[in-house]
């Protein structure tokens, strides 16, 4: 397949002054630095004790961001990227999940945010990007309703510590993924499976996204508070009634499960009756507790899923037909490259009353990047970003909410169960030497943002 290198007509100015441009990353995927009092996370445990990651990779060193953040912040600056979304590591701040605060952990984040500011970069915080303290998982983790008070304590420590330096806060990163992959399919940490683990984890995450928002607002005056959702455009595999119904069920689980309760709509049980079992975990008053006032929602859209009816699939009776099986152009994650997905998602989420602003807090692609003559020619990623950003523009021009865009990711990093194999970065990382090389896509993004 021939890939056109670049669309010359796309301009930052088309999006207006208010539109937020940035790049995203997360602590567990980049930081390493298991020192200075950091506790073990569920991902450290899943990787080093359970050895569950592809090629037995671990996040122990990752991009060594803990020590190398000044270099990475200077790269962000050199690329002219004005906003940096990064997560705080719960076990670095509260090594046992609750109780004793690790001052060295807080000091490190203060240094990081100071470094950003010194370089004219606005830091955005994600409070929870999947690295639950292992100590809390030993007590049941997201399945245990006590997580409501553990999480409130963690958020209150963080928002108190950073109330003067951080304006933009996101509560959870993709609750659909950490509950689905971590507590239903068992392919992510902590590796649990089945509805009996998944449903309480979902309900507690829904409550925590609201509790987190309230806690940040209590501590931080004028906070700009959001939370993020993973989402995919869903299409039926055929025109059959059964495939349409299956597509609707998958859409409900992937795209509606976490946003609707926080908007006061409750769980979408009507469209997926097995969800009724979640009622067992709902306490009186929870319907009010689940509601949250968000200034924005973050959506993280990479692809579309094509869905087929599957009688033997437990609970959902549907399956996703992989991109390689459909023989469509896809990334190293086997995610179909389908730029219109992001348009469809902006359209879908714009239609919810109560959604004030939508920021694309992640979008990007993993390709098989190679270094040639000290350069990384990743024109597939350039084409990907350019086409997806064009669809964001199309949505905005059609009157849908679209208020910002963050590329995932700043650097190649630890891609969870896939280890270091998929490379999502604008910056290449040689994981042996920790040398960074800005990829052509990094320079493309710089030109897009600065010309």
Residues forming contacts to ligand IFM in the complex (CB under 6 A) are 26, 29, 174, 300, 362, 408, 415, 424
The distance of closest approach from Cβ of residue 406 to ligand IFM in the complex, given in angstroms and rounded to an integer, is 11
Using CB atoms within 10 A of its CB, is residue 186 exposed (0-12), middle (13-18) or buried (19+)? middle
Identify which of residues 46 and 424 has a Cβ nearer to ligand IFM in the complex: 424
* Beta carbons within 8 Å of 184's beta carbon, 6+ residues apart: 192, 193, 194, 195, 197, 198
Identify which of residues 343 and 424 has a Cβ nearer to ligand IFM in the complex: 424
The distance of closest approach from Cβ of residue 389 to ligand IFM in the complex, given in angstroms and rounded to an integer, is 17
Positions annotated as catalytic residues are 174, 362
Q: How far apart are CA 110 and CA 106, in angstroms?
A: 6
What is the DSSP annotation of 194-244?
SHHHHHHHHHHHHHHHHHHHHHHHHHSTT-EEEEEEEEEEEEESSSSHHHH
- What DSSP state is assigned to residue 268? -
The distance of closest approach from Cβ of residue 364 to ligand IFM in the complex, given in angstroms and rounded to an integer, is 7
Residue 23 has phi, psi (to 5 degrees) of -140, 150
CB 134 within 8 A of CB 46: no
The distance of closest approach from Cβ of residue 3 to ligand IFM in the complex, given in angstroms and rounded to an integer, is 21
CB 76 within 8 A of CB 84: yes
Identify which of residues 26 and 227 has a Cβ nearer to ligand IFM in the complex: 26
- What DSSP state is assigned to residue 273? G
Identify which of residues 102 and 228 has a Cβ nearer to ligand IFM in the complex: 228
Identify which of residues 107 and 334 has a Cβ nearer to ligand IFM in the complex: 334
The distance of closest approach from Cβ of residue 205 to ligand IFM in the complex, given in angstroms and rounded to an integer, is 15
Residue 36 sits at the vertex; the CA angle it makes with 30 and 38, to the nearest 5 degrees, is 60
Q: Both tokens of residue 204?
A: 């507690």
């Amino acid at each position: 397949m021939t890939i056109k290198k670049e669309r010359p007509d796309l301009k930052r100015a088309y999006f207006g002054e208010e539109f937020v441009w940035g790049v995203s990353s997360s602590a567990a995927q980049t930081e390493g630095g298991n020192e200075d009092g950091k506790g073990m996370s569920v991902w450290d445990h899943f990787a080093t004790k359970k050895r569950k990651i592809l090629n037995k990779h671990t996040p122990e060193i990752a991009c060594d961001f803990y020590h190398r953040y000044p270099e990475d912040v200077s790269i962000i600056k050199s690329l002219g990227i004005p906003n940096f979304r990064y997560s705080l590591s719960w076990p670095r701040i509260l090594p046992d999940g609750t109780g004793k605060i690790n001052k060295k952990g807080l000091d490190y984040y203060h240094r990081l945010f100071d470094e950003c500011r010194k370089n004219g970069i606005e830091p955005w915080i994600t409070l929870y990007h999947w690295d639950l303290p292992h100590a809390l998982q030993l007590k049941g983790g997201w399945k245990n309703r006590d997580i409501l008070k553990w999480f409130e304590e963690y958020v209150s420590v963080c928002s108190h510590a950073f109330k003067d330096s951080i304006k933009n806060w996101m509560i959870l990163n993709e609750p659909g993924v950490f509950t689905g992959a971590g507590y239903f399919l068992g392919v992510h940490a902590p590796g649990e499976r089945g509805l009996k683990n998944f449903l309480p984890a979902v309900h507690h995450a829904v409550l925590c996204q609201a509790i987190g928002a309230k806690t940040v607002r209590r501590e931080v005056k004028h906070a700009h508070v959001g939370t993020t959702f993973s989402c995919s455009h869903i299409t039926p595999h055929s025109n059959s009634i059964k495939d349409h119904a299956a597509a609707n069920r998958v859409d409900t689980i992937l795209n509606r499960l976490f946003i609707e309760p926080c908007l006061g709509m409750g769980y979408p049980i009507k469209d997926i009756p097995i969800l009724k079992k979640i009622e067992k975990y709902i306490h009186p008053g929870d319907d009010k507790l689940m509601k949250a006032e968000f200034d924005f929602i973050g959506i993280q859209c990479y692809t579309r899923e094509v869905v087929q009816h599957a009688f033997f699939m437990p609970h959902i009776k549907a399956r996703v037909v992989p991109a390689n099986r459909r023989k469509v152009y896809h990334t190293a994650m086997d995610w179909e490259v389908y730029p219109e997905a992001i348009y469809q998602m902006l359209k879908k989420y714009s239609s919810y009353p109560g959604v004030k602003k939508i920021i694309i807090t992640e979008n990007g692609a993993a390709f098989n990047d190679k270094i040639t003559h000290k350069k990384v020619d990743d024109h597939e990623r350039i084409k990907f970003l350019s086409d997806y950003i064009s669809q964001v523009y199309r949505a905005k021009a059609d009157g849908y909410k679209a208020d910002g865009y963050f590329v995932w990711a700043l650097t190649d990093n630890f891609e969870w169960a896939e280890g270091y194999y998929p490379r999502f970065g604008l910056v290449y990382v040689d994981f042996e030497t920790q040398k960074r090389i800005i990829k052509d896509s990094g320079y493309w993004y710089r030109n897009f943002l600065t010309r």
